[in-house]
Amino acid sequence: MAGIQALQQLEQKLNQVILGKPQAVRLALCCLLSEGHLLIEDLPGLGKTTLAHALALSLGVHYKRVQFTNDMLPADLLGQSVFLRDTQEFQFRSGPIFSQILLADEINRASPRTQSALLEAMEEKQVSVDGLSYALPKPFFVIATQNPLFHAGTNALPESQLDRFLMRLALGFPDLQTEKLILQQDQGQSRLEGLNPCLNEQQLLLLQQQVVQIKVSDALLDYLLALVTQSRQQQDCLPLSPRAAKALLRASKAFALMSGRHYATAEDVQQVFPSVAEHRLNPGSSRDNQSLSLQLLRKVPCPL
């Protein structure tokens, strides 16, 4: 299990930056390991961007940050063909999306058109401009942040596009002690400054491969399917798609790897379930609300 130690080191470092949110940090890492895109949603000032930055910085890969605004055009994100007078031909100038990690800040401020341009790239891992396809680098993932929907000047992501995000995380308020600590340690410089990459690109790809090889027992799969099936029988939520089931399995495996195991357990599934499922079950919900997924977990017996 090479890379596990580096991973744990990384987790530790992130926890030093994002104080008091070990679960969110772990899930965020887990999401990246399972090659999924991450959506962080919360009120402004709770550390969304910090978490995204910290992740990007510490992974030691090439990253870009894009601040989404409502007048942003797809070309601003993807890049555009420019006519060169010298050579008398068009040349493609790649946009910020051509990076290994894209920090899409306040994604729900952009127009639906720009949103969908990004989401297409997320799913297909390539960009089409003027009839030509350009492959995105590997690994590629998007860490998007968004403000709650009721905030002014937001365009809600449609269900189909929310589904592209493997997980949706919320950070929530820190507890009093942590907040005190944050205040105490505030010495006028960003916490991110001292952060060095703990993993290189190779290690990350290797870890992602290891996730795939995590063992999942038959009984565990049955449990996972029971959860999915339950969502389809319930009236008060959207049903979970097979893609959601796949995402759940992948995330569970990554979670198992994070714990240094080569097999996934029922607890892994239960731990990742709210983050993976809630935004699919209830796209309109926001912030810390995980009530539907937790309710669903309580309805399905777990003998394992």
Partner 1 sequence: MLNPAFIPTALLLQLMLLALLQEGLSWWSSLVLIGILLFKYISFKAQQKVRMMTINALAVMLCLLLLSQLWQQDMQDSMLQLLFFSAALRLFSIHSELQHAKKLLWVQYFLITTGFMLNQSLWFASAVFLLFFCNLYLHYLLFAPVQQRQFRWTDIRLLLWVMPLCIALFVLFPRLPPLWQTERQHQAQTGLADELSLGGLERLVQNDSLAFRVEFADEKPAQHELYWRAKVFETFNGQDWLPDLQRASQPPLATPGRYRYQLVVEPHFQRSLFSLGQVSQLQGQVQTVAAGLIESRQQISRRFSYSLTSNGSAVAQQNPEEAKRNLVLRHTNPQASALAHQLKQQHRTASGYAQALYQYFEQQQFSYSLRPPVLNQQAQVDQFLFQHKVGFCGHYASAAAYLFRAAGIPARVVAGYQGGVWQAQGDYLQVLQKDAHAWVEYLEDGYWRRFDATVIVAPLRLTQGLSDALSLSERQFLDQFFQRGVLGHWLQQLEWLDYYWSVWVLSFDQTEQRFIWHYFKTMPWLWIGGSIMTSLLLVLVIYLWLQRSNQSQNVLLRQRILKVLRPYGEKADYQSMESYLRQLIQLYPLQATKLNELLSAYQQFEFAEQLEQLQQCRKLLHQLAKHNSTVG
Binding-residue pattern over the window 268 to 287 for partner 1, x denoting contact by CB under 8 A: -xx-----------------
* 206 makes contact with partner 1 (CB under 8 A): no
* 303 makes contact with partner 1 (CB under 8 A): yes
Q: What residues numbered 18-47 form the site for partner 1, per CB under 8 A?
A: none
Q: What residues numbered 58-117 form the site for partner 1, per CB under 8 A?
A: none
Residue pair 275/172 in contact by the 8 Å Cβ criterion: no
Total residues at interface with partner 1 (CB under 8 A): 22
CA angle 140, 142, 144 (to 5 degrees): 175
**Structural element, H or E, at residue 57:** helix 48-59
* 297 makes contact with partner 1 (CB under 8 A): yes
Closer residue to partner 1 (CB): 201 or 267: 267
Closer residue to partner 1 (CB): 205 or 225: 225
Which residue do the tokens 């090889």 mark?
213
Residue 36: partners with Cβ closer than 8 Å, 6 or more residues away: 141, 165, 166, 167, 247, 250, 251
One residue of 15, 206, 266, 287 binding partner 1 per CB under 8 A: 266
Tokens at 4, concatenated: 């596990």
* 267 makes contact with partner 1 (CB under 8 A): yes
Stretch binding partner 1 (CB under 8 A), from 64-72, 179-187, 196-204, 217-225? 217-225
Binding-residue pattern over the window 245 to 264 for partner 1, x denoting contact by CB under 8 A: ----------------xxxx
CB of 33 to partner 1, least distance (A): 19
Tokens at 148, concatenated: 């709650």
**Residue 2 vs residues 55, 85, 197, 262: alpha-carbon distances, Å:** 20, 51, 17, 12
CB of 271 to partner 1, least distance (A): 9
Query: Of all residues in the chain, what percent are helix, strand and coil, respectively (each to 5)?
Result: 50, 15, 35
How many alpha carbons fall within 13 Å on the CB side of residue 186?
Answer: 6
CB of 302 to partner 1, least distance (A): 5
140 burial (CB, 10 Å; 0-12 / 13-18 / 19+) is buried
Stretch binding partner 1 (CB under 8 A), from 22-30, 86-94, 212-220, 241-249? 212-220
* 233 makes contact with partner 1 (CB under 8 A): no
**Structural element, H or E, at residue 14:** helix 4-17
Beta bridge partners of 144: 39, 104
CB of 274 to partner 1, least distance (A): 13
* 1 makes contact with partner 1 (CB under 8 A): no
Closer residue to partner 1 (CB): 19 or 302: 302
CA angle 280, 166, 217 (to 5 degrees): 95
One residue of 73, 82, 132, 304 binding partner 1 per CB under 8 A: 304
**Residue 141 vs residues 162, 179, 228: alpha-carbon distances, Å:** 15, 30, 26
> Using CB under 8 A as the criterion, which residues of the chain lie in contact with partner 1 when the complex forms?
215-217, 219-220, 261-267, 269-270, 297-304
